[in-house]
Amino acid sequence: MRPSRTLTRVVPLLALVGLGAVAAPASRRPPVDRSAMSEAITAAANDVGIASPASYAHYLRAQLSSLAGDHRSAVDELRLALATDENEPLLLTRLGEEYARLGDLTRAERELRRAVERHPRYYAGRLLLGRVLMEAGKPARARTHLRRAIQLQPREPEAYLVLAQLHLDARANEQAVKVVEELAVALPGESIGYRRLGLALAERGDSARASVLLAKAIERDPGDVESLTTLAQLQEKAGRVSEAEESLARALERDPDSQSVLMGAGRLALLQGATVRARAYFDRLLSLSDDPELAVRVAQSFLSARDMPSALAVLDGARKGREPSPRVSFYAGLVHERLHHFDVAAKAYAEVPVSSEFFSDARVRRAVCLSQGGDHETALALLREALAERPDDTDLWVQQARALERGGMPERAVAVLKEALGRKQEPDLHEALASTLRRLGRASEALTLLREAIEQHPREPALRYTLANVLLALGDEEGALTWMRGVLQVDPNNAAAMNFIGYVLAQRGRDYSEAERLVRRALELRPDTGSFLDSLGWIHYQRGDYPRAVEALERAAELEPDEPVILEHLGDAYHRVSRAGEAASAWRRALDVLALNPEAAEPPEQRALIERKLKLLSTGAADR
């Protein structure tokens, strides 16, 4: 006997006649759906009347017991009903149903066989017997009775659906499709077979057949929202995004208030770059509910499309007019911080209450933003509070040191990091201290620190990466490349190291082939990374291929619109292809970013260099 299978499916093909889970008795027989059997019987069009009043009374009591979940009592009442009306097919079939509900498929099969032997043309008995045999692991016998049921009632869909399920369970998908096609011929215009099998095949990953069946279901019932939404998922998976959005738009014609469909349609519109259309979907969605989680999900969709202004509009709108949700405030803070709106971000983080799961992170982010905005005293107080609660949190020590450095207390910053290293020798602390020393002009001390740390942590790529950056800042390009190649020896798939080497090689004006190979490999590992595309664009620029440089740098600026190095490079490339107005615009955007976030300057004198280019632009002399 085959092992019993799980009868509850993710997407049941046969919602009307499927078997679901009920508690199995001590016999350990498979569980059986409580409602499917009754619905299968009800579907019969030729039920025979119960002649005896006593039998009918027991039948009614059996029905009441069954509805109350007392299937053992229902069995007893049906047996009493059969004592005075032993050949009534409805009673025999109901008895088989109740045994099935108790999980006793052997007795269920016995009673149902009695029903069909005495009444061979009784549709409900044939249908239910086929279903019970299928669940009992007897597919050949099940097929025989289901085919007979179809012959008896060719315009009743249930037997077709059970037979299709039987083929589906045997992974005979093509046979299941043929059964559904038979049903479509028997019931022209009816969509149930196409719909049920299409949904089931979609769940099982047979996208091609599922798409065809769902399309046929929609032809017959253009307002079938579930089929339309499932078809849209399959179309998106196949890369047919515009068709997927069209399917969802059709679903919205029938159900304009479906939140899931509106969310999906907005997301698909964003994938196509149709921001206005996406906003229309999302505005409709947000008008239906005040649930802050919806605002967060819509904002995340805009963020995925790198449309931070729209994400902010949604989040800030959700914060107005009522007590802001901690989650909404936290996400608003993150986006404002990303846009260097440090004062506004700090206010958003301050809205997160102590009781919220976001409070710890919000307090640290608020401190960072206050420090960036010049309120170092409050920032340091918040960080001290956090450190008192989490003294082993390495990031808190690093953030405290940065706040001290920004506040004009660099030596205290160094002391804090050394104290942290005294507590715990962490690579991140070594890296932070070395970077601080480098910014203070103490590069040789930073190099010594890093070399000692690498001896302690020889397999830590971050330390080697930082050492390479320190050497590059000191003008030792060869040493920087050597150490960065060492990063790849420790971590062969370190995309940032590949990008570093490629960019430095391009800056040196040689080995362009190796530089491009490394940067393209980095992009394979981390696609759509703005800094990597910037490096690729700069390689093209250094080679003199300015049109390709513009193409790569424009994409980099789309991905990282607030990165001054990328904006400066884009201005340089525009200048080379005689697009002076766009060059000036890119350089001015870089200056705007640097005004908001001076720490982003690379090199430190970047602002002065860009201002000089703008002054020289009219003479055609602006260049790196």
pLDDT in tens, 61-107: 999 999 999 999 999 999 999 998 888 999 999 999 999 999 999 99
State which amino acid sits at residue 69. Answer: G
Q: CA angle, 518 as apex, 464 and 459 as ends, to 5°?
A: 25
Residue 221 token pair:
């019932």
pLDDT above 60: residue 3 = no
Residue 341 token pair:
């709106």
> What is the crossing angle of helices 461-473 and 443-456, to 10°?
160
Q: What percent of the chain has pLDDT over 90?
A: 73
Q: Which helix (H) or strand (E) holds 241?
A: helix 241-254
Residue 331 token pair:
């996400």
pLDDT above 60: residue 37 = no
CA distance 305 to 311: 10
Q: CA angle, 271 as apex, 214 and 552 as ends, to 5°?
A: 140
Say how many C-beta atoms besides its own lie within 10 A of residue 168's C-beta. Answer: 23
CB 569 within 8 A of CB 553: yes
pLDDT above 80: residue 143 = yes
SS3 content of the chain, % helix, strand, coil (to 5): 75, 0, 25
CB 396 within 8 A of CB 383: yes
pLDDT in tens, 572-604: 999 999 999 999 999 999 999 898 888 888 888
pLDDT above 80: residue 322 = no
Q: Calculate the alpha carbon distances from 255 to 176, 198, 269 in Å.
A: 30, 21, 18
- pLDDT at position 601: 87
pLDDT in tens, 374-386: 999 999 999 999 9
CA-nearest of 445, 431, 372 to 397 is 431
Residue 161 phi, psi dihedral angles, 5° rounding: -65, -40
pLDDT band at 6 (very low <50, low <70, confident <90, very high): very low
Q: What pTM was estimated for this model as a whole?
A: 0.70
- pLDDT at position 549: 96
Residue 422 token pair:
């005294």
CB 327 within 8 A of CB 293: yes
Residue 606 token pair:
């970047």
CA distance 82 to 276: 69
- pLDDT at position 141: 95
- pLDDT at position 35: 52
State which amino acid sits at residue 416. Answer: V
Helix (H, G, I), strand (E, B) or coil at 23: coil
- pLDDT at position 508: 86
> Which three-class secondary structure string do you get for 33-83?
CHHHHHHHHHCCCCCCCCCCHHHHHHHHHHHHHHHCCCHHHHHHHHHHHHH
Count the residues in the chain: 624
pLDDT above 90: residue 23 = no
CA-nearest of 253, 218, 258 to 234 is 218
Residues 185, 189, 192, 194: what is their CA dihedral angle, to the nearest 10 degrees? 60
Weakest mean pLDDT among 12-21, 180-189, 600-609: 12-21
For the residues 472-490, what does the mean pLDDT come to? Answer: 93
**Which residues fall within 8 angstroms of residue 258, CB to CB, at 6 or more apart?**
225, 251, 252
CA-nearest of 574, 576, 594 to 585 is 574
pLDDT in tens, 224-244: 999 999 999 999 999 999 999
CA-nearest of 423, 383, 386 to 401 is 383
Torsion-angle region of 406 (φ positive above 0: left; ψ -120 to 50: alpha; else: beta): alpha
Taking only Cα atoms into account, the Rg of the chain, rounded to an integer number of angstroms, comes to 35
Domains of the chain with CATH codes: 1-170 (1.25.40.10), 513-619 (1.25.40.10)
